[in-house]
Copies of this chain bind each other. A is one copy, B any other.
Amino acid sequence: MLQSWLPVPSDSDFSIHNLPFGIFSDERPARAGLAIGEWVVDLAAAYALNMFPHYPEAGSAFRKPVLNDLIALGRGFSEYVRKIVQAALCDRESALNQFSDHLLVPLKSVQMHMPLKVGNYTDFYSSEEHAFSVGQMFRPENPLFPNWKHLPVAYHGRASSIVVSGTPVPRPWGQTGQPGGVPAFKPTNALDYELELAFVIGKDSAIGRPVAVAEAEDYIFGLLLFNDWSARDIQRWEYQPLGPFTSKNFASSVSPWIVTWEALQHFRVPAPPQEPEPLPYLAHSPRQNFDLSLSVSIKPNNGEEFLVCKTHSRNIYWTAAQQIAHHTVTGCNLQPGDLLATGTISGREINQKGCLLEATLNGTQPVMLKNGVERRFLEDHDEVIMRGFGQKGDIRVGFGGLRGQVLPALHSFP
């Protein structure tokens, strides 16, 4: 069992087994760091002390305000960095301890930034419980479309508006359908969150060359916690026939820390069996998910925080490898910095639903926060807090949370 000389609270997401990558700033500009307990390891400073002698090119990657260059150096590089820092954290004689005033920055004193410039963002629809219960609301006789069990349904989302945890999200204005046929234009009445995980692509694939499902996991750098904000009333009116557009492109939020592929390996579990069997290009064995505990809380304005969802990621129907194989099946290329999100992750029970659309049956059955305080959809000033972590024995690895507060809509429209 690894033991650090740096005290790490036992319930910290940032154990010695995790060491996720992020971009932070203090009085100096934004740069790359690793989280450990209540500290950030300043990788640019560690590089200057010659802690990473095998990668002379790493210095410029560590000083960039996004992790894309670091990610593009490959998983071999990120493993190397984590191993060196892990060893240093376990060695009282290490330079990290000796120069800790210089190399360790308190987490509470830093500002976290968007960890990467997202190239392309794709949102899947891979939780069967989610697809089924949403489908049931709108097509009770036939909740899953005929394609759903044959391919991981997905759509291309908007990359430019992905923001880091802590960034407030104004309630959007938009068009909504009305009984008379003439649409209304007003701030959304059905603002929702979506609890998701997003895989960060770490490697280029060539255009015209599908990625084989057996090799697909090699393309994953790590994982983010992801909130795909949605305006349900706008979505309902606009989505036919080409899918959601302005109802989802106003913002998605990511955790500031990317948990690496290696740190996730402790939490592999078998994915649920698939019936019917998928086509050969989607068949792999063993099919595995990561078993992470996930939750969503709502914190009304200046109030306490209330748990509204407690679920996990072990039952996702389409694995990350299957998502990648399908994404590239016709020849689409992947690039480092792309995100592939799972889509809303839900369980069967009403308190396991990853969005309010499901948890409140489209606003008809409010969730109770406490006596007299309920929610059908999000209200102004609500803060949405998502958490995610894996725990296996004493090993805990997590994202450190993902927060975003709803701001009131613009007073009048431009």
Contacts and interface: CB of A to CB of B under 8 A. Distances in A.
A237 B147 contact: yes
A240 B276 contact: no
Interface in A117-164: 119-120, 123, 125, 145-147, 150-151, 153-161, 163
A174 B276 CA distance: 18
A334 interface: yes
**In this complex, which of A153, A173, A243 has the most chain B Cβ atoms within 10 angstroms of its Cβ?**
A243
A247 interface: yes
A330 interface: yes
Interface residues of A, number: 69
Given A151-B175, A244-B242, A334 B160 contact: yes
A330 B151 contact: no
Given A120-B160, A159-B119, A181-B146, A172 B231 contact: no
A270 interface: no
A292 B212 CA distance: 43
B175 A150 contact: yes
Given A207-B163, A241-B239, A250-B330, A185 B279 contact: yes
A413 B332 contact: no
A20 interface: no
Contacts of A362: none
Interface in A158-190: 158-161, 163, 169-170, 172-175, 177, 181-183, 185, 188
Contact of A250 (B174, B326, B331): B331
B245 A333 contact: no
Task: Label chain A's interface by main secondary structure.
Answer: loop
A172 B327 CA distance: 12
B181 A250 contact: no
A335 interface: yes
28 contacts: A120-B158, A120-B160, A123-B242, A145-B240, A147-B183, A147-B240, A153-B241, A155-B242, A156-B157, A160-B335, A161-B332, A173-B210, A173-B281, A173-B330, A174-B330, A175-B329, A208-B251, A210-B413, A211-B414, A234-B330, A239-B241, A239-B242, A241-B243, A246-B329, A246-B332, A247-B330, A250-B331, A251-B331
Given A208-B250, A250-B332, 10 more contacts: A147-B183, A151-B175, A153-B238, A158-B332, A161-B333, A174-B329, A208-B251, A210-B413, A241-B243, A249-B327
Interface of A: 119-120, 123, 125, 145-147, 150-151, 153-161, 163, 169-170, 172-175, 177, 181-183, 185, 188, 207-212, 231, 234, 237-247, 249-251, 276, 279-281, 326-327, 329-335, 338, 413-414
